[in-house]
Structure 1
Amino acid sequence: MARIQLNNIQKRWGAVWGVRDVNLDIADEEFIVFLGPSGCGKTTTMRMISGLEDPSEGEIIMDNEVMNDVDARDRDVAMVFQGYALYPNMSIYENIRFPLRMRGVPKDQHDRLIKRAAELVELTEYLDRKPGALSGGQRQRAALARAIVRQPHVFLMDEPLSNLDAKLRQHMRVQIKHIQRELKITTVYVTHDQIEAMTLADRIVIMEKGAIQQIGTPDEIYNDPANTFVASFIGSPPMNLVEGTMAGGVFTAPGIKVEGLPTKFDGSVTLGVRPEDCSVGGSAAHLSGSVYGVEPTGDMTYLTVKAGEKLFEVKADRDFREELNATAHVSFDETRVYLFDTGTGQRIH
């Protein structure tokens, strides 16, 4: 369908920077997710791809054609927004039909294309209803069908699931990924939800303050974070990060001691370990502290331990229970301990 290249893209408004030095090659049929907090530049980047924003510098290329001076309506992209943007006075059938009318598609093709799009999003029985008679999830599916019916070269989706409850979000994630795989359309998806990013993406682009922090597959981002920002943004709960001192391969911080770490770096470091790579007890505990919180969830128990002034999260067994303020000893999987430069936040390999 479409290969998208962003070459040295920058966006600024006077002295205010929105996007800095973005370089990215999106493969044909790839599902790529821009992930980051509000204001990080992810939506601005997507709007530049769509043509709704002009880059201050750099080139946007689709299938080897520079698109900087091409109007948004001529870029053959379809957008799905957080707001459903459906016409309330039209039936769902007419809402889905609207792009076909605007693009001059022959009328004898409309019914077939509309019904195919509605079938893909499981909305066939609701075509005669108006948006006000549908649930939030159904309206979002109608918005998705309206994008599908155009048969675009690129899908652009800006936080399309943010207005839905958790159960509906999970259902819609499955539908979106299935539809994208079936239609084989290059897709750029923007979200602040790391679960959406991990479950949907072929690759994730993590942004902060307008700059790309890391690009990689979900496994690469999760298992090999480039810096403390990425490490703390991915994971639920996020990676535990604690500042301390490294000397001779031994890390120390209040209540924490880890020996035999494979690094020659000495000085101030930040140690990272994910909650699932910790276990309670053990003869060689790396952390000792007091129980600050115990949260059973059914399939596991979240344990919060206070060591010095640091709260440390642990995923414990489902049957684990302990009184508050009791002493807890926690061991780390030493093969999954991460080290970062405290000053720069960059990973120490």
Structure 2
Amino acid sequence: MASIRLNNIVKRYGVFTGVEKMSLDIEDEEFLVLLGPSGCGKTTTMRMIAGLDTPTEGSIVIGDEIVDDVDARDRDVAMVFQSYALYPNMSVYENIRFPLRMRGVPAKDQDGLIRRAASMVELEHLLERKPGALSGGQRQRAALARAVVRKPQVFLMDEPLSNLDAKLRASMRVQIKHLQRQLKITTIYVTHDQIEAMTLADRIVIMDKGIIQQIGTPDQIYSNPANVFVAGFIGGPPMNLVEGQAEGGVFTAPGVTVPCPPHVRGKVTAGFRPEDCQIPGTDVVGTVFGVEPTGDMTYLTLDVGGRHIEIKAPRTFRSPIDAAVGVAVDPGHLHFFGLDGRRIERAE
């Protein structure tokens, strides 16, 4: 197994910068998720770790070895892709066997390793089938088995669940997490899906425009977003963000009046999550724009001063469109962000 260190890596494509001065320490056996929107640099970062792309500047260390000049095939990393990348003319057994043959594992040892890997992802009964006869979830599990069969130093997973439906994604998340814990292999997982990131990661690295925005555990990032970008990216629905004025311990905006710390002054952005609101109340007053019952809760969208505010209401809540509704916001879960977009820390 291995730790990974990125030392000020930069990746430029002509005048475009894909990754800017990225430094990151990934611990041995850690499950780290690179999260962000399309074009943020997360896949580029993974490709540099894999050796598929070369950093323009900086260095990469895997274990105790600087791997800047080491070919991808010699880095002892295994990749799982969105596209599965299985050989269609080979059976599942032969697909799993392929990396063992390429690395010269003795033939007498291969069968046991293949069946053990297949058992880990519950595919032992499908070893003779070809990929075309498998469902999407089964193909992804075959790709996982091929990656784990030789027990590499590092797993690299690039949007591996994007092609699956919602139910399969949920079951595969559990399988991937269990497999990583079982094998204790350092894993880097790339996704734009914040639910995947929150459920899988030991730590999350949120990126935007090639720059790290925040690093932390899922709880840290959810509870204390570093800036407006992170606050608006994490959560389903994400944090409500309202621009207004703070003065004398009160934040005001059209339809919004909430308390704020005395040191928060001037033009700021207030943030509060949909689940930190209760009906009725007087902190946020608007009209009903939409009501979406989901069974366990009701998503309520309010029109407040021309902006939409999302609320997680009780499952039994119902209201006609355009009805007036007032909401109370938990003052202990209010966040405030300055003109630079950064969260204003609480005064000691």
Which TM bucket (shorter chain)?
over 0.9
CA distance in 1, matches of 2:264, 2:170: 43
1:198 matched residue in structure 2: 198
Matched, 1:214 2:239: no
Structure 1 residue 65, shift from structure 2 partner: 1.2
Structure 1 residue 150, shift from structure 2 partner: 1.7
Cα pair 2:115 2:124 within 8 Å, conserved: yes
2:171 matched residue in structure 1: 171
Give the alignment of 1:324-335 within 5 angstroms: 324-335=321-332
Cα pair 2:51 2:72 within 8 Å, conserved: yes
The residue type equivalent to 2:155 in the other structure is F
Q: Could you say what secondary structure the match of 2:171 adopts?
A: helix
The residue type equivalent to 1:292 in the other structure is F
1:100 matched residue in structure 2: 100
CA distance in 2, matches of 1:40, 1:263: 36
Structure 1 residue 149, shift from structure 2 partner: 0.5
Give the alignment of 1:1-349 within 5 angstroms: 1-259=1-259, 261-282=260-281, 285-341=282-338, 343-349=339-345
Structure 1 residue 248, shift from structure 2 partner: 1.2
Structure 1 residue 257, shift from structure 2 partner: 0.7
CA distance in 1, matches of 2:184, 2:51: 22
The residue type equivalent to 1:276 in the other structure is E
Structure 1 unaligned residues grouped into runs of 5+: none
CA distance in 2, matches of 1:339, 1:163: 37
Q: Could you say what secondary structure the match of 2:5 adopts?
A: strand
RMSD: 0.6
CA distance in 1, matches of 2:54, 2:36: 21
Moved over 6 A (4+): none
Q: Could you say what secondary structure the match of 1:180 adopts?
A: helix
CA distance in 1, matches of 2:230, 2:280: 29
Structure 1 residue 267, shift from structure 2 partner: 1.0
Structure 1 residue 238, shift from structure 2 partner: 0.4
Q: Could you say what secondary structure the match of 2:82 adopts?
A: coil
CA distance in 2, matches of 1:189, 1:266: 40
Structure 1 residue 13, shift from structure 2 partner: 1.1
CA distance in 2, matches of 1:269, 1:263: 13
The residue type equivalent to 1:142 in the other structure is A
Structure 2 unaligned residues grouped into runs of 5+: none
Cα pair 2:298 2:317 within 8 Å, conserved: yes
Cα pair 2:247 2:262 within 8 Å, conserved: no
Structure 1 residue 265, shift from structure 2 partner: 2.6
CA distance in 1, matches of 2:226, 2:288: 31
Q: Could you report, residue by residue, the CA deviation over 1:160-209 in whole angstroms, capped at 9, with x for unpaired residues? A: 00000000000000000000000000000000000000000000000000
Structure 1 residue 64, shift from structure 2 partner: 2.0
The residue type equivalent to 1:269 in the other structure is V
